[in-house]
Amino acid sequence: MRANTLIMIVLAGVFGVLAVVLVNIWLAGQRSAMAQTGIVQGSTVVVAAMPLKFGDTLSADKLREVAWPAGAVPTGAFKTTKEALAGEGTRQALQTISANEPVLASKITGPGQRATLSAVLGEGMKAVSIRVNDVLGVAGFVFPGDRVDVLLTRTVRDGDGADKSFVDVLLQSMKVLAIDQVADVSKESPTVVKSVTLEASTRDAQKLTLAAGAGQLSLALRQAAASKGETTERVTLSDLTGETPADVAARQAELDKKAAAEAEAAAERKRAEDKIAGLTQAVERVGSRLDELGKVKPAPIVMAAPQQVVKEVVKYVQPEPPARATIGVFRGVKLETYDVPRQP
């Protein structure tokens, strides 16, 4: 191996090691700068030192401060325990707060306030209670914070004097505030209750109050994540599997009648469309013919030469009388003729 090649290999190795060292020094400086920036921009947030349930009073031993990135502080959080407990009177938890969970202003009462339903209600909402039992209340498995649908069952008398029962979905996705007189959402064991308190708007509160006297109210528990409404329809006795043959025949006849009416309407629309299509084609043909006639150049008019009229004059010429005449003479019964010259 020549000396120049060996020198180039050695220099390449030295420069490579030098580059690695310089990159490590630069990365260490960047990490140090980021760490210092994080310390400067850091903040604190008050969290629960132990699990809190509805109605628990806040105190210094139940809260603690933890480091928190300044740019990620939750809305309504407190930076210090003194700030969270400031004001005249104690604060109480309005809902379950887990250990190390940030204590937000929306989850606790104001200074001196009690943990009541009025503090939990949303803006413009009302609390309405309805009577239920072990069946209508979903066997006691409805808890504060759940979402339920309110069903109304009633019986009315039609024009024929027969009673007809049906069920309507009165309200959907109603928030449960309390069961009986318990509003603690940490309650886990099912309990047979006599009343359920729901959060409702003013109009929905009116509906619930009126429906309570018009029929029987029952609850249907919704999935926790299903807060949107859905399209519903009235359910009557004819929709049940135990309907009579007469009901089935009447409904089938109604369906057949409806299908026939729809078929007739479709046929009428088809005939009308065919007529319109024929008229359209005729108009198009006339328009095309007019366009073709408009493109044809008119033939030049050739004037015929005037004809000479010849008049024929007819004159009457009296013929000349004959020079001789024939005369007949009867002699007895015999006729004799004589040719004699005519006298002038």
For 122-176, what is each residue's pLDDT tens digit? 788 888 888 877 666 666 678 888 888 888 888 888 777 777 888 898 888 888 8
Strand partners, 93: 108
Instruction: Give residue 184's pLDDT band: very low, low, confident or very high (50, 70, 90).
Output: low
Overall average pLDDT of the 233-261 stretch: 77
- In angstroms, what CA-CA distances link 136 with 142, 156, 207? 10, 21, 18
Higher pLDDT, 158 or 257: 257
| Residue 187: predicted pLDDT | 57
For 82-123, what is each residue's pLDDT tens digit? 888 888 888 888 778 888 899 888 888 888 777 676 767 778
Write down the mean pLDDT value for the chain: 78
pTM summary value: 0.46
| Residue 206: predicted pLDDT | 92
Instruction: Give residue 226's pLDDT band: very low, low, confident or very high (50, 70, 90).
Output: low
Tell whether the model's pLDDT for residue 203 goes beyond 80.
Answer: yes
| Distance between CA atoms of residues 162 and 285, nearest Å | 64
What domains can you pick out in the chain, each with its CATH number?
A: 43-115 (3.90.1210.10), 122-238 (no CATH)
| Residue 43: predicted pLDDT | 82
Main-chain phi, psi angles of 283, to 5 degrees: -65, -40
| Distance between CA atoms of residues 266 and 270, nearest Å | 6
In angstroms, what is the C-alpha Rg of the chain? 57
- 152 within 8 A of 130, measured Cβ to Cβ: no
**Through-space distance between the first and last CA atoms of the chain, rounded to whole angstroms:** 178
Tell whether the model's pLDDT for residue 80 goes beyond 80.
Answer: yes
| Residue 40: predicted pLDDT | 45
For 307-328, what is each residue's pLDDT tens digit? 666 666 666 666 677 777 777 7
| Residue 302: predicted pLDDT | 59
Higher pLDDT, 269 or 29: 269
Overall average pLDDT of the 166-189 stretch: 75
| Distance between CA atoms of residues 193 and 177, nearest Å | 14
| Residue 39: predicted pLDDT | 46
| Distance between CA atoms of residues 100 and 49, nearest Å | 6
| Residue 299: predicted pLDDT | 61
- 199 within 8 A of 122, measured Cβ to Cβ: yes
Q: List the alpha helices (DSSP H) in the chain.
A: 3-41, 81-84, 117-120, 202-214, 245-295
Higher pLDDT, 197 or 242: 197
Overall average pLDDT of the 25-31 stretch: 81
Tell whether the model's pLDDT for residue 335 goes beyond 80.
Answer: no
Tell whether the model's pLDDT for residue 303 goes beyond 80.
Answer: no
Instruction: Give residue 204's pLDDT band: very low, low, confident or very high (50, 70, 90).
Output: very high
